[in-house]
Amino acid sequence: GAVVSQHPSRVICKSGTSVKIECRSLDFQATTMFWYRQFPKQSLMLMATSNEGSKATYEQGVEKDKFLINHASLTLSTLTVTSAHPEDSSFYICSAASGGAAYNEQFFGPGTRLTVL
């Protein structure tokens, strides 16, 4: 199957700083990328959907000015957590999809564990 990478895999930062997470589709062009976060012992929660070259669509309750998403190319999307606080500590996961059919699978990155001190 297709490969999606995330970088970094793990990051620790101080409260108030910004952190950028990269999501790359390595061997296919992703028309759509999704960002999820997962708190301990919970399921994945969708944060936003981004299509290449257009603004991301954020889920209700997710602050677009705090979680900046850029999808500048068909192989790269970035999530920047601005002015991070301890409550932003979570496991952030991206996924990518190519094609618009309901039978298309999504390919997930390995996740980025963010710890804000």
Partner 1 sequence: DAKTTQPNSMESNEEEPVHLPCNHSTISGTDYIHWYRQLPSQGPEYVIHGLTSNVNNRMASLAIAEDRKSSTLILHRATLRDAAVYYCILRVNSGYALNFGKGTSLLVTP
> Which among 76, 91, 66, 108 is positioned nearest to 9, based on CA atoms?
91
Whether the CB-CB separation of 18 and 81 falls below 8 Å is answered with yes
Sheet with 67-73: strands ordered across = 4-7, 19-25, 76-81, 67-73
Nearer to partner 1, 81 or 83 (CB): 81
| From 11-19, 61-69, 77-85, 97-105, span contacting partner 1 (CB under 8 A) | 97-105
Q: Which of 13, 44, 62, 76 binds partner 1 (CB under 8 A)?
A: 44
How many residues form the binding site for partner 1 (CB under 8 A)? 30
Interface with partner 1 includes 79 (CB under 8 A)?
A: no
Interface with partner 1 includes 99 (CB under 8 A)?
A: yes
Interface with partner 1 includes 101 (CB under 8 A)?
A: yes
Interface with partner 1 includes 115 (CB under 8 A)?
A: no
Burial class (CB in 10 A: 0-12, 13-18, 19+), 113: middle
Strand (E) or helix (H) holding 91: strand 90-97
Report cis status (omega within 30 of 0) of the bond before 110.
no
Interface with partner 1 includes 107 (CB under 8 A)?
A: yes
Q: What residues make contact with partner 1 under the rule CB under 8 A?
A: 1, 4, 6, 32, 34, 36, 43-46, 49, 91, 93-95, 97, 99-111, 113
